[in-house]
Chains A and B, each alone.
Chain A
């Protein structure tokens, strides 16, 4: 019966989102961007890595909607592929960080005492090292690649999430229905799975959505420093970063990837805000 109730809750969330324009519009835009990046290859007859040295740095036109880059590659095609990588870099590490942060936060709140102290100090350690430096240490250790960018972003983000989840868990634990469950003699694991986790879901959804923009921006910062995604792979941040020399002579090179970054960051921000209003996971300065 409880399970059924949860399904209903999921459906309720979806229905509420569909009704709420503040959530619907950014949601639709995100879906369009995802569709563009998935079906991108159908929209272009260029290859994202094929070079054309005779036609480098061409202005828009001549079959190149956004012109060509420093090696004569079609910028439009590269934005489509770059969006794919950037979405991956936005979604995957954020999801992993939320999972890790959730596990850490719940454990800290549940087991209290030494476990709590150790987990929270670990989170503090992560939060006390400036994210960019921590990411750089990881990237230098592992070498620049998609995998290492994902790992470094998870490392940066989980700590903050753990802190929020811990507070939320403590709040839920104090609520009447959990106390009631505990008093009926339900096991700790059962309480955690049946009562605490389901009630954390709204918090986690909002945390997930609101952390995505910072993942996108961090990736672009790392790519600017030349240690994020590496060629021949392409991401929006890498494109924007490597166009810095041409920013003012050939603005089309930076504009397309930067515009896409803006669209993604804003959409996820608005979606996150709207979800917070809909789900109302409480005020914890998410």
Chain B
């Protein structure tokens, strides 16, 4: 990992509204995550400084989603520590959490109210959804839904973004909007952890390949798991 100098300002960062972020670095040490009680990744350790992005790579099924869900506090790790509380993390999974019968503005306004941040206006602008604000979310295209799901991150006001395949079904222009939003987030002192298979134009993004952390079965020298021992 040899990231570009993060002190070089990104000239394309637009003036997005300040979200009142507290600067927090994320440190993960010796993390073992499991799916259905079976370890899938073990001994993960990395540091994510404020203003930086980390791209997670690895083949399908390696455990990228499991890792992100564990970090977001949706499931407990088998071992290891995460330096940042789950309250600092905005998680965006495969599903966008949209209600088909609510309008775009109502969907986003709900999450803004839940997170106690301002109205959805600025986030709608940033994701180019302002013209669609009164349309029911059920009538949006897949890419528009995805943009609405990503706009939720902007209203969450949380410093660490955890994004699981954020660019699925986005066109090139929308990917550009997304990259701009991430850059603005990083410039504001936030950080982002992104699991993706595509190249994102985010300056200074480090890459973490998860393949070396794949959990080994106990027979191969892995650390095993109480479940296996109980049924051995």
Physical interaction between A and B: no
Query: Which residues of A pack against B, CB within 8 Å?
Result: none
